[in-house]
Amino acid sequence: MEPESSAAGRLGCPKRMVFGPCGGVREDERCELAEHRCVFLDAPLVRWPGAAPDPPVRSGLLARAAEAPVVLTDLSVPAFDTAAVRRVVGVLGPVSDGLLLGEHANRPDFPPTMLAAEALAAGARLWTTLACRDRNRVVLEQELAGLAALGVDGVLCVTGDGRGPGVRPGASQVFDLDGVRLAALAAGRGLQVAVPESPEAPPRALRPARVAEKQRAGAQLCVLNHVSSPARVASFVAAARDAGATLPFVAGSPSTPTSAPPACCSAFPACTSTTTSSSGSSPRPTRGRPASPPRSRRPERCSPSPASSGSTCRAWPPTGARTTAHGSRPRWPSD
């Protein structure tokens, strides 16, 4: 199915999503951007109407994930700083199977293709996040074409978090497409596609099947938001498998080499910190919280912390772990 930018979003959704809900639904079921109840909470889930496209041959991270657990590390760097991109790639690239270039609602940066070119030149095996918030469909197509020409490993297709009150109030939030339609667009351009999902966000019962629908739209990898425990990851993945999802999952895991996790971790739902960087070893949880905080309390950035690295965990059912690097803002890849 070709994702039409003219497709009517569901009435009441500020992001004009067709294939909602996004990952920003608040704990009390209110919309991420408005005070009313999210309009996608009730069954039935919106199904992807087309047949799954023929996926490109798996390469890079996806090929490795078919063989063994992998580590995908957030590549978060200061904005408008290409030297920092090269420097951080030099640190994290050699200890990761792939690097994930992020996108921030409150912090503009160079265009994704430009950052990707810098990271690739520095030797990164790169996945680039592309969000629909600030780009109309034409610009999304341009970025996808550019990323394909550059030879990135893949693209993480997200709808994008809405900007908070007071953040660039004069700039419109575009949302021509949502993350699912962007995934289809990227897959149609021959790119390997990752999508996010937020197991802890309402409506929890619908979200596993949502992964299967995203796969039918073209996704080949699912990057999970932080969840309350490894057991919760396992139950979510099992439910997604029951719903028909066969793609590999990457579990979010803030990681620090110290026993004290960064201050930002306290604001995540039961996020765990690992005290090892040995591939294949199990993370030792050091801190947890049982419930997701209100969105307004989510951290804008990490406190300064020691350089961090991550490890895959063979005890977990996903095929990979995603780590949040030193100095970065742990992201919520809202879809």
Where along the sequence are the contacts to ligand SF4 (CB under 6 A)?
13-15, 17, 20-22, 24-25, 31-33, 38-40
For 169-206, letters b (16+ CB in 10 Å) and e give eeeebbbbbbbbbbbbbbbbbebbbbbbbbbbbbbeeb
Q: What Rg, from alpha-carbon coordinates, does the chain have? A: 18
In terms of CB distance, is 85 or 201 closer to ligand SF4? Answer: 201
List Cβ neighbours of 36 (8 Å cut-off, separation of 6 or more).
Answer: 12, 30
Nearer to ligand SF4, 125 or 181 (CB): 181
> Smallest distance, Å, CB 182 to ligand SF4?
15
Residue 241 has which token pair?
């498998």
Q: Please name the helix (run of DSSP H) or strand (run of DSSP E) that holds residue 174, with its range, or none.
A: none
Nearer to ligand SF4, 38 or 302 (CB): 38
Name the residue nearer to ligand SF4 (CB basis): 159 or 220.
159
For the beta carbon of residue 227, count every other beta carbon within 10 angstroms: 24
Q: How many CB atoms lie within 10 A of CB 229?
A: 15
223: Cβ contacts below 8 Å, ≥ 6 apart: 72, 100, 156, 194, 195, 196, 197, 249, 250, 252, 322, 333
Q: For residue 169, how far is the Cα from the chain centroid?
A: 25
Q: Which helix (H) or strand (E) holds 197?
A: strand 193-197
Nearer to ligand SF4, 4 or 42 (CB): 42
Toward ligand SF4, which CB reaches closer, 67 or 172? 172
